[in-house]
Amino acid sequence: MFKQLTEAQLDPILSLSIAYREDKRAEKLDLGIGVYRNSQGETPIMQAVQLAQQQVMESQRTKAYVGLAGNEIFNQSMMDLLLTDTSAYHRAAAVQTPGASGALRMLADLMYLAQPETTVWISDPSYVNHKPVMEAAGLKVKYYPYFDRVTKQVNREAMLAALAKAGPKDVVLLHGCCHNPTGADIAFEDWQAITTLANQNGFMPFVDIAYQGFGDGLAQDAAGLKYMADHTEEMVVATSCSKNFGLYRERTGAAIVISDSLKEAQKAKGRILNLARSTYTMPPDHGAALVAAILTDDALSATWRDELSQMQARLVNLRASLTQAVRAQGSEAFDFIDQHKGMFSVTGLSPEQIARLRDEFAIYAVGDGRINIAGLREQQVDYLAHALVTVSQ
Ligand code: PLP
Ligand code: TYF
């Protein structure tokens, strides 16, 4: 049966990690996969997570199944983080999923179930898995203009002009904050303008938020999402604890449906549970149990918030020092790095220039020009600045 299969296409980001591991050069630098690293180049378990892990170890008495929706305290905590103080808070329902990836797929399946002819509009460019996941669910995908490759900022006029053409059969997928891959975020006024368009033209917003806390802080990073949730009748959200709790391999995330009433939101939740049952049945428990333990304990929450803001500060500082270091080499061509948010920036380097970074400098960046700022150590900033200036001349 399987002989008729053609070869699989490799994931461009995951295969880069493999190539990096095999590189023997001492000066090598991994700016590929989106994993946060500290000044020592490590991704340690966060202190709050370690403490929660001890608590869970001591209090957990069984490994019996939890249920289709996963940990309901976790689900409530995700809604608290994203929707507190909005009208949407009282007309939303959440389901724990295997990462935001699981949420993306469950929400895509739900949209297909409700309206198979749906087209999902995604930003050009977007997270590598957005298109394949939406298409795997049977949905059509269309791109809206987003990143201006000259200014390295959002081309808001082109974006809004395109989204003005989206209608009732359309879903517009937005990044909640810290856009992957570009690092260029929409402004609060853009959230307001897109909300107005959604209400005028009838498309549904779909927000994927995988980096809350990495941009301007936990509350600020959800401000646009909150405004939109407050002012639209229907919206869906995929959220992740991979980055802001450092729980990558525990596969911890949630799908949230906001509707015009709690009854409608719960109906949608019921349908997601049906879909989950026929896909993976139940999400893994451990990560969600840890997040629930942290977010329901004041001391653990404070520890977590503090650690997260230190991680955010490191990214902001690295961006500033990299920009300065490039300037010290006589170039202003990378000033945009300081204005981008989160872990990533699309540098505008061509695939050939990215290949030169790898061949001549042992610097691994994604072929589309994306670099992961968190992959950088303070003592390597000048090295990277020199390499960026060299390959871009
Ligand atoms: N959405 C975006 C925008 C991402 O960058 C990622 C990154 O991993 C995900 C979703 C998937 O996250 P998770 O690890 O929670 O599945
Ligand atoms: O964009 C990234 O690097 C992260 C991690 O197939 C990732 O979001 C990369 C590739 C992939 C899944 C996750």
Query: Amino acid identity, residue 143?
Result: Y
- Closest ligand 1 atom to residue 253 Cα is 15
- Is the pLDDT at 229 greater than 90? The verdict is yes
**Closest ligand (CA of 16):** 2
Which backbone phi and psi does 257 adopt, to 5 degrees? -115, 125
- Is the pLDDT at 11 greater than 90? The verdict is no
Mean pLDDT value of segment 17-32: 94
CA separation for the pair 23, 25 (Å, rounded): 6
Mean pLDDT value of segment 281-296: 98
CA separation for the pair 262, 386 (Å, rounded): 55
Ligand 2 pocket member 35 (CB < 6 A): no
The domain defined by 65-296 folds into Aspartate Aminotransferase; domain 2 (3.40.640)
Q: Which residues are CB-neighbours of 220 under 8 A, at least 6 positions away? A: none
Query: Amino acid identity, residue 224?
Result: G
Question: CB under 6 Å to ligand 1: residues?
Answer: 34, 99-101, 127, 175, 180, 208, 210, 240, 242, 248, 253
Cα 103 to middle of ligand 1, angstroms: 10
Q: pLDDT tens digit string along 241-254?
A: 999 999 999 999 99
- Is the pLDDT at 280 greater than 90? The verdict is yes
- Give me the CATH code for the 2-44+300-391 domain, please: 3.90.1150.10
- Is the pLDDT at 10 greater than 90? The verdict is no
Residue 12: what pLDDT?
A: 86
Measuring from atom 5 of ligand 2, which residue has the nearest CA? Answer: 34
Q: pLDDT tens digit string along 359-379?
A: 999 999 998 999 999 999 999
Ligand 2 pocket member 375 (CB < 6 A): no
Instruction: Please give the angle made by the CA atoms of 91, 175 and 52, to the nearest 5 degrees.
Output: 70
- Is the pLDDT at 295 greater than 90? The verdict is yes
- Closest ligand 2 atom to residue 14 Cα is 10
Is 70 within 8 Å of 285 (Cβ atoms)?
yes
pTM attached to this predicted model: 0.97
CA separation for the pair 167, 225 (Å, rounded): 20
Q: Work out the percent of the chain whose per-residue pLDDT is above 70.
A: 100
Mean pLDDT value of segment 23-40: 95
Mean pLDDT value of segment 73-95: 97
End-to-end CA distance of the chain: 52
Measuring from atom 3 of ligand 2, which residue has the nearest CA? Answer: 34
Domain range list for the chain: 2-44+300-391, 65-296
**Closest ligand (CA of 368):** 2
Sheet containing 92-98: order of strands: 92-98, 252-258, 235-240, 204-209, 170-175, 119-124, 140-145
- Is the pLDDT at 126 greater than 90? The verdict is yes
Cα 221 to middle of ligand 1, angstroms: 16
- Is the pLDDT at 238 greater than 90? The verdict is yes
Q: Is there a shared CATH topology between the 2-44+300-391 domain and the 65-296 domain? A: no
Cα 92 to middle of ligand 2, angstroms: 28
Ligand 2 pocket member 10 (CB < 6 A): no
- Closest ligand 2 atom to residue 11 Cα is 6
Q: pLDDT tens digit string along 139-189?
A: 999 999 999 999 999 999 999 999 999 999 999 999 999 999 999 999 999
Ligand 1 binding pocket mutation candidate from 11, 78, 101 (most atoms within 8 A of CB) = 101
